[in-house]
Structure formats: C-alpha cells, structure tokens
Chain A
Amino acid sequence: MSLLYALLAIGLLALLFGLILGYAAVRFKVESDPLVEQIDAILPQTQCGQCGYPGCRPYAEAIANGDEINKCPPGGESTIRQLADLMGLEAKPLDDAHGSNDVKKVAFIREDECIGCTKCIQACPVDAIVGASKQMHTVISEECTGCDLCVDPCPVDCIDMVPVKVTASSWRWQLDAIPVKTID
C-alpha cells in the first residue's frame, strides 16, 4: 500500500514538474532568428565559394544541416569561434583544404591591360566592378570582398589581388611588427 502511495506521490510530482516545465517553455520561450539567418550573419559574405558552396548563404544552410564550421578562410578564426559559440560546438582550426586566411586582399584591375570584356563584371558576386563592354573596367575597392572570383574569368589576366594597406586607423597595435629605425 505504501508502495502505491509512493508511486502516486512520485507520479504526481512528475506531472506537476512536467506542467511547470511545459508552462515555462511556452511562457519564457526565446524568440530567435532562424538558425540559418544567424549563421549567415556571422559569415563574412565574401561570396567567394571557397567553402565549396555557391555563396555564404548556401554554406550557412549547410552548417545548419550539420556541415563543418571550419571551411571559411576569409572569416578565419574569429568566424569559426563565433560559429562554434552559436552551434554549441568545439571551435576547430581552419580546414586548410579550403584555403588559408592570410592577409586581406582586394582585386585590382591593371586598367591599361583591360580589354573591356565584362567577364569579371559578370563574375563579381557583389557588383563591385564597374565598366561597360569595350570600356575599361575598375574595381570599387571599398566594395570588394576579396573573393578572387574575378581573377579566373579574365582572359588577359589583368586582375591582381592586392593586399589591403594598413593605415593608422586600421592598425591593430602590433608593436612587435613596427620596423624600428636603427640609430648609430
């Protein structure tokens, strides 16, 4: 008989707590962006496709579906850490198979060599190249994401990826890297 009481008590308690939990789940539900949106917001939007997907959003969808988070070289370590945070995963080093995250670069068209074929314009995922057919093209470096996609289509190889120059405002206090003038 006492066993029955015990079972009953436990059962009632379980029910009660279940109800409380259920209520809390509804009452305190955290509205959040769909996962893909959140992942997409973290990705650097270079649309470079180095991850193997045609753009950042497809990769975001792939991550949401369980793909690795370390396939984004332009995002580098910080992006991986943020993704790991978001997805509740261990941050892991960048997968070298997808390229390395070296210095940030932007495309530069050697304008006297450009033949105005518009191929790079069509390749640019962010419309950062201006120009018209048979006219010289140029890159809006402010808008360039450094995705590299315009380099291959160029028939005359007049596009270079140029490292972005460090200015006083983009300097990051790398004191060790300051070239010290030698005095004699």
Chain B
Amino acid sequence: MQSLIDKIRQGRFFDFPGGVHPPGRKTLSNQDVIGKCTLPEHLYLTVKQHIGAPGQLQVKVGDEVLKGQALTRSTNPFALPVHAPTSGKVTAIAPHVSAHPSGLAELSVEITPDGRDKWIDLTPIPDYQQLPKTRIIEAICDAGIAGMGGAGFPTHIKVSPKKDVEFLVINGAECEPYITADDRLMREHAWQIRQGIDVLCHLLNPGHVLIAIEDNKPEAIQAMQVACQEKPDYIICPIPTKYPAGGEKQLIQVLTGREVPHGRLPIDVGIIMQNVGTCFAVADVIFTGKPLIQRVVTLTGEAMTKPCNVWALLGTPICHLLKHAGYEKAQQGVQRLIMGGPMMGFSLASEQIPVVKSTNCILAPTQQEMTLPEEEQACIRCSACADACPVNLLPQQMYWHSKAKELDKAQDYNLFDCIECGACAYVCPSQIPLVHYYRVAKAQIRQQEEEKQKADKARDRFEARKQRLEEEKAERELKHQQAAEARREAMHKQGDDPKSKVAAALARARKQQTSDETTAAPETADKVAAAIARAKARKAAVQQGDSAPSDTADTAAEDKQAKVAAAVARAKARKAATQQGHAAPSDTADTAAEDKQAKVAAAVARAKARKAAVQQGDAAPSDTADTAAEDKQAKEATASKSKTTKQVKPKDKVSTQVTAADTPVKPAPADDREEQKRQRVAAAIAKAKQQKAQKDRQQASSTADMPAEKVAQPLVEVDEQKKQRVAAAIAKAKARKAKLDMQSSADNQQDKTDE
C-alpha cells in the first residue's frame, strides 16, 4: 500500500494495454485565456442534461426568471435541476433539438435574456466544515452539478458513497486531442479547483488525493502544483500522454494498477474520480452559492479563425459560439461540427443544438484536417484494433459478429466492456467504423433485452389473465353447485313430502316407461314415498288385474288398453303441467328474473302442447276402445270395481292435490339456476302424473283445463310467443274438453273402468 503511494510519488505509473497517439493539436486553442461570450438571443435549457431522471418543471411560459433560478425540481435522488443561466423571460417550453448523437428533440425551456443578468439571492456556505455533510451534498445537488468530463453522472450521488474511499482521483488528463478546456481551467483557476477538492475531501475523507494530468500539459501541472503546495496529501501525477488515459477505468489502471471489475463501479476498488471541471463547479457552489449555469467550452478546429476557450452559458446555441470563434462557414466544402473531441465526440445535426453540462468542446475541422471517412473495406484481420484496444478486447471478432447480427456471440466477446474510445477505428487500415458497429449492436442488444423483459411481463400478464378467467369460471360453477345444493337442502327442510313424491313419481315413471307396472319403486329412500309408491303400485296392479281380463276377453283389448293407458298418462301430464302452471305465478313472486319465468312458461307451454297432443290421442283410442270393448261383463266388472275403489278416490285425489300443491314450490327455487334440471323435474312430474291419470282420467281432463286457463293469465305478461302458443294450446284444450265432455258422458262406463 505504502509502496504504491511511493511509486506514485516517484512518478512511476502503470500502463494500460493498447492505446493510440493521435496528434494532440492542443496548441490550437490553449494559447489564450478563457474568454467571455456575449449573451445569445435565446437560450435552450434541455430539461434532462445528465444521466438519471429529469425533474419537474417549475416555470411556465411567460414567467420572468432570474439568473440562477431553478427551472426544475424533483425529489428523485437521480434527478438534477437545471437553472436559468441569465435573467429573462421563459418564451417557450417545447421540444428542441438536443445535444445527443441522435439529434432528437427533447423538452427544453427557451429563455429570452433581458440583458440585466440579474442574479437571484445566493447563499454560499463557506463554513461548510461546520455543517453536516448532508447539507453540503444537498447544496451540490441543488446546484445541478453533474460530471463535467462527459458522462454527466450526478455528482451528489458520487460524493455520498457507502464505502471507504482510498483514493480520490481528480481527472485532469484530458486525453482527447484538441480539447483544452480543462487545461485552461487548471492553468487559470487552479486555486478554485483546489478549493473544490477540499470540499470533496471533506465529504469523502479519502486516504489520498491523486490529481492526474497528462504530461503534455506542463503549465497546468505547474499551476496545480503551486495551488496544492500546502496540501502534502494532494499528489500531482503527470501521467504519460496516451489516448485514452483519461478514461475513468484507464486512469485508475495507470495510477493504481487496479482494475474495476466488470459491472462494478470504481468505488468498489476504493476509488472515486472527479473531473477538474466538477471540482471547480463544486467550489463555485460552496463558496459563492452559484449553481451550475456555465462551463468552459473549447472552440477549436482549423475551420475556426479564432479557436479559443470560452465561458459558455448552458443552453447557448452552438451557432452563437461559432460566431464567437469566427467559424468560416462559407469556406468549408463539407461542413462538420463535432461536439466533444475527434475520438469520441458526435457530429451535430443542427447549429441550434445548445451547450449542455457535459459539452466540453465544439470542433469544426476542415476537410484537410480530418479527411472524410472513406468507404469501408474488408477486414483483413490485421488485429491492429486489438493492439490498440485499451481494455483488451478483440475488436475484429466483435465487428464480425456485430455485422452478422450474431449479438449473443458479440456479447460473448465482452462487447459491453467496450468504452467506445474509438482507438480501434482510429487505427483500422480498412477504414471500418468499428465503434459504430458496436454502438448499433449494443443498442440492439439493449433493445432486445428490453423487449425480452417486456415479453416476459406480457406473458405473466397473459397467464395471470388466463388464470383469472379460469378461476372466475370455476367460481361460477362452484356457485351454481352450491346453489343447487342449497336448493336441495331447502327442499329437504320444507318437507320430505314433495321431494319424496317426486322421487316416487320418478320411480313410477320409470315403471310406466317399461310398462312393467307391477314393479314398484321400493328403493325410494323416503318412507312416505315408499308407502305412496306401494299404494300406487298396488292400485296399478289392481287396475292391471282388472283390465287384463277384459283385454284377454277381447282380441284387440290388450292393444287398446295400452293405448288408452298411454293416452290417459298424457292427459295426466297435462294436469301436471297445469299444476306447474300454478308454480309459475309463485315463481314470478319468488324470483325477479324474467328469463327464468320465461323458461317456466316455456316448460308450461311444452306441457300444454303435450297435453293437446294427448287429448287428441286420448279421444281416438277411447273411442275405439269403446267400440271394441263389447264385453259387457268386463264393463260391469270394472264398473263394480270402480265403485269399490271410489271411496279410495277422494283420498287419492287429496294426495295428488298435495303433490300438485307442493311440486310448484319445488321447481321455483330450482329455477333459480338450472333450467335443465327444472325441465327434467317437470318431465318427471308429468310422467308421474301419467300413472295417476290411469285412475282418474276423467277428472284429469276436466280439472286440467280450468287451471290451464288460470295459467294463461300470468303467462300473458311473460312472452308474446309463448303466450300465443299457450293460448292456442288452451283453445285446443277447450275444444277437446267440449268433445271429451260429450264423450265422457257417453262413455262413462269406460271411464269408470279406469278408476
């Protein structure tokens, strides 16, 4: 450790690989003192001039602002304010071409100076050593200071590290050719730079301060040495001139031999680096209270008659500076304006581009000075680029892969460690714009990564949505199920009777279908149901027994009997439907849902339709049955039988009435959800009734019609179509009834047999 410091003090430095020695051309602009520039007509303050987040605008069009007044503000730690560089009026807040290689327009505040150049009240804090560090950092932040070396990283973030600082490196290397802004600043304002360093030392408390200056600037080195005389901790390091020694990572390597690990920051190896311009600005803030509103800009290149350094207000359009430096527009065959140095600067697309915090140079070369890029030739893999690369990359491989758009392979060659210093393209004998290829590839990779992230997010959202929809569906189904269960439970609670009756009816229906009437439905769990079923079965058996002889007596009897039975069953169904019709009104009362009622109505209508059909069928078979059944004995037998069973009939009827009364209760809640189930139940009921119909067909036919009329009433409101159908059904039913009445009187005997 101590030996490292000794080594540095002795001026023995490390070397970094590669590097180039382009002609410096610094004497072009470093001969005169930093000049003052006149106020331009308009100033364009780009809202975001640093790395990080932009602040919120604090002014609006028409506002009068004073020199040094903050135009933006933000609570975001990565946001820096911009300040009015002079007093004047905000004349526009609109996108203006920005100091970015893309030349895209960015939100800017246009200020028209009023010429008074009136400052706001400044609050210097010369007693900073007595103040808490946060107060100083706040002052630096509020002054809008960003790294002035080129990157524009917010300084207040850099001066509040979480780790111990071993070396504070002050970067005055200025390795780019042509640029002399830092050189002049050090020569003329070494004292203030030292004050700035003092402030930074107070904040960072570093082990050592290394002030690195390339040895092609002897005057600056001397000035700094004089300024730092009484500070033995401040070591002036005249480092060998080699591009890009001023790069952050390269300078660290030159001074300490350390490397900043990939993806980490200098602070991770105990080093903080600040540009001399930043130190100057920090001193400005602390000792005069002035925010960052101007900076030294080198105006150079052979196309300028008076190349010089100048204090340029931030926001000054380039054309104003060019005028100051005597740029000879007309004499240039091809006009080129470069912001920054010839190695890393970018060409400007407009003369209206304003000076920003990181603008250190405006270069206007003549065509002879910097020849226009020739057409790129094939790479001959001479690896001159690899020899020039300061970070030991293999530019020819990265070029190859970038060109072929094999981005993953380019990345595999550590494309993102490229510092874009341009040394490779500088030496390339085939005139390949290597750095451009890397920039494009990097942008593409970043974009791809962004898209990938976006795609992942979209996939997550898509899947979340799918899941949500599925969950909703499942929930709905669950609700249905629960409702159905609740219904069933409610039925149980209301009474086993109706339910059991339904069950019994179902059982009977099954029996009917198979026309095996002897088999009762003993399996019905309910006792009552079983009992009823048994009773019914018995009755049916009796009837069967009754009809059977008459059938056997007659040749056609059996056939007809069956037909009659079916017909009667259908008639019974009609009656059931009627009962259901009763349910309808209760339904309307229970549930407000219109469609459900419609469904009920539909069911009713269907039942009616069936009834109508039944009636027609009913009439025919009974007629034939009458004519066919000539056996009087049989008739008498049945008649007598009917008399005997007549006493049973009222009881039976009561039970059916009960069923009828209760069944409507059942479908009503059932309707709440499932139409299908309801229909099935209705059908079951109908079928159940069919069996009963065998016993009192007459009654069924007569009683069914009356409720049918009643049913029609509520149905009217329900649905036009259904109403019509129902009406038709009713009409038919009535017609049938009339016919049936006549017939029933005529064939009373036949009817009685059924009983």
Say if the two chains contact directly (CB < 8 Å): yes
> Can you list 23 residue pairs at the A/B interface with Cβ under 8 Å?
A44-B455, A45-B454, A45-B456, A45-B462, A46-B455, A56-B462, A126-B465, A145-B454, A166-B102, A167-B104, A171-B100, A171-B102, A173-B101, A173-B436, A173-B443, A175-B436, A178-B102, A178-B349, A179-B103, A181-B97, A181-B350, A181-B351, A183-B329
> Which residues from A are CB-within-8-Å of B101?
171, 173, 175
Closest to A165 in B: B104
Nearest 3 interchain pairs by C-beta: A45-B455, A45-B458, A181-B350
Give the Cβ gap from B337 to chain A, nearest Cβ, in Å. Answer: 10
- Is B436 a contact of A44 with CB atoms below 8 Å? no
Judged by a CB distance under 8 angstroms, whether B494 is at the interface is no
Residues of chain B within 8 A (CB-CB) of A183 are 329, 335, 351
Q: How far is the CA of A166 from the CA of B448 in the complex (A)?
A: 15
Residue among A40, A43, A81, A183 with the most chain B CB within 10 A?
Answer: A183
- Whether A127 and B459, one on each chain, are in contact in the complex, defined by CB atoms closer than 8 angstroms, is no
Q: Residues on A close to B: CB < 8 A?
A: 40, 43-47, 55-56, 78, 81, 125-128, 143, 145, 166-168, 170-173, 175, 178-181, 183
- Which residues from chain A contact B350 at a C-beta distance below 8 Å? 180-181
Contact residues in A for B455 (Cβ distance below 8 Å)? 43-46
Contact across chains for B444 and A172 when beta carbons are under 8 A apart = yes
B77 to chain A, nearest CB (A): 19
| B519 sits at the interface (CB 8 A) | no
Nearest residue (CB) in B for A125 is B462
> Whole-angstrom distance between the alpha carbons of A135 and B503 in the complex?
51
Q: Is the CB of B352 within 8 A of A173?
A: no
A168 lies within 8 A of B351 (CB): no
Q: Which of B457-485 contact A (CB under 8 A)?
A: 457-459, 461-462, 464-465
Q: How far is the CB of A34 from chain B (nearest CB, A)?
A: 15
In the complex formed, the residue of B with least CB distance to A128 is B461
CB contacts under 8 Å to A, within B312-353, are 329, 335, 349-352
Q: Do B104 and A171 touch (CB < 8 A)?
A: yes
Q: Residues of B contacting A47 with CB < 8 Å? A: 458, 462
Report how far A125 CA is from B467 CA in the complex, Å. Answer: 12
Contact yes or no, B436 A143, CB < 8 A? no
Which A residues lie within 8 Å of B335 (CB)?
183
Interface residues of B in 426-441 (CB under 8 A from A): 436, 439-440
Given known contacts A145-B458, A167-B104, A168-B98, A127 and B444 CB-to-CB distance under 8 angstroms: no
**Inter-chain contact A168/B458, CB cutoff 8 Å:** no
- The docked-state distance in angstroms from the alpha carbon of A45 to that of B100 is 32
Please determine whether A44 and B451 come into contact, CB atoms closer than 8 angstroms: yes
Q: Beyond A45-B456, A180-B349, is A81–B444 a contact (Cβ under 8 Å)? A: no
- Are A40 and B102 within 8 A (Cβ)? no
Please report the C-alpha to C-alpha distance between residue A170 and residue B100 in the assembled complex, in whole angstroms: 12
A66 to B748, alpha carbons, bound, how many Å? 79
Is B106 part of the binding interface, using a Cβ–Cβ cutoff of 8 Å? Answer: yes
CB proximity of B416 to chain A, nearest CB, Å = 15
| Chain A, Cβ-Cβ closest to B104 | A168
CB of B405 within 8 Å of the partner chain = yes
Contact with A along B79-112 (1 / 0, CB 8 A): 0000000000000000001101111101000000
Give the residue of B103, B439, B461 whose beta carbon is less than 8 angstroms from that of A178: B103
B288 at the A interface (CB under 8 A): no
Q: Which residue from B106, B436, B459 sits with its C-beta under 8 Å from A45?
A: B459
Residues of A within 8 A of B454 (CB): 45, 145
Residues of chain A lying within 8 A (CB to CB) of residue B640 = none
Chain A residues contacting B129 (CB-CB under 8 Å) are none
Whether a CB of chain A sits under 8 angstroms from the CB of B447 is: yes
Minimum Cβ distance to chain A for residue B222 (Å): 41
Partner of A125, one of B104, B329, B457, B465: B465
Considering the complex, give the chain B residue whose CB is closest to the CB of A145. Answer: B458
Give Cα A46–Cα B459 distance, bound, in whole angstroms.
8
Task: Tell me if B458 and A126 are in contact (CB < 8 A).
Answer: yes
Q: Could you say which of A126, A167, A180 contacts B461, with CB atoms under 8 Å apart?
A: A126
- Is the pair A55, B349 in contact by a Cβ cutoff of 8 Å? no
Tell me which residues across on chain B come within 8 A of A175, comparing CB atoms. 101, 436
Question: In the complex, which residues of chain A have a beta carbon less than 8 angstroms from the beta carbon of B102?
Answer: 166, 168, 171, 173, 178
Complex formed: what's the CA distance from A166 to B455 in Å?
A: 19
Residues of A within 8 Å of B457, CB to CB, are 143
CB distance from B10 to the nearest CB of A (A): 44
Q: How far is the CA of A28 from the CA of B98 in the complex (A)?
A: 55
- CB B733 to nearest CB in A, in angstroms, measures 46
Residues of A within 8 A of B456 (CB): 45
With A43-B455, A45-B459, A178-B103: A78-B448 Cβ-Cβ less than 8 Å: yes
Question: Which one of B335, B405, B465 has the highest number of Cβ atoms from chain A below 10 Å of its Cβ?
Answer: B465
Given A47-B458, A180-B349, does the pair A168, B443 have CB atoms closer than 8 Å? Answer: no
- CB contacts under 8 Å to A, within B398-454, are 405, 436, 439-440, 443-444, 447-448, 451, 454
Chain B contacts for A168, CB-based, 8 A: 98, 100, 102, 104, 106
Nearest CB of A to B236, in Å: 38
C-alpha gap A163/B597 in the complex (Å)? 52
Asked whether A181 and B352 contact (CB < 8 A) given A81-B405, A173-B440, the answer is yes
Q: A183 — nearest CB in chain B belongs to which residue?
A: B351
The answer to whether A166 and B459 touch across the interface, beta carbons within 8 angstroms, is no
Q: How far is the CB of B207 from chain A (nearest CB, A)?
A: 37
Tell whether, in the assembled complex, residue B447 and residue A170 are in contact, meaning their CB atoms are under 8 Å apart.
yes
A127 to B101, CA, bound (A): 36
- Chain A min CB distance to B333 (Å): 14
Q: Which residues of A contact B443 (CB under 8 A)?
A: 171-173
Q: How far is the CB of B361 from chain A (nearest CB, A)?
A: 20
Quick check: B458 and A143 within 8 Å, CB to CB? yes
| Shortest distance from the beta carbon of B445 to any chain A beta carbon, whole Å | 10
Given contacts A81-B405, A181-B349, 17 further A-B contacts (CB under 8 A): A40-B459, A45-B454, A45-B455, A45-B458, A46-B455, A47-B462, A126-B458, A127-B464, A166-B102, A168-B104, A168-B106, A172-B440, A172-B443, A172-B444, A173-B443, A175-B436, A183-B335
What residues of chain A lie closer than 8 Å to B462, measured between beta carbons? 45, 47, 55-56, 125-126
**What residue of chain A has the Cβ atom nearest to residue B407's Cβ?**
A78
* B463: nearest chain-A partner, CB-CB: A57
CA distance A43 to B455 in the complex (A): 8
Chain B residue numbers with a CB within 8 Å of A143 are: 457-458, 461
Cα A143 to Cα B448 with chains together (Å): 16
User: What's the minimum C-beta distance from A84 to chain B, rounded to whole angstroms?
Assistant: 12
A72 to B98: give the CA distance in the assembly, Å: 36
Chain A residues near B444 (CB-CB < 8 A):
172
CA gap between A148 and B405 in the complex, in Å = 29
Contact residues in B for A81 (Cβ distance below 8 Å): 405
Chain B residues lying within 8 Å of A145, measured Cβ to Cβ, are 454, 458
Residues of chain A lying within 8 A (CB to CB) of residue B459: 40, 45, 56
Q: Once the chains are docked, how many angstroms separate the CA of A81 from the CA of B440?
A: 18
Distance between Cα atoms of A47 and B456 in the complex (Å)? 12
Min CB gap B168→A, angstroms:
31
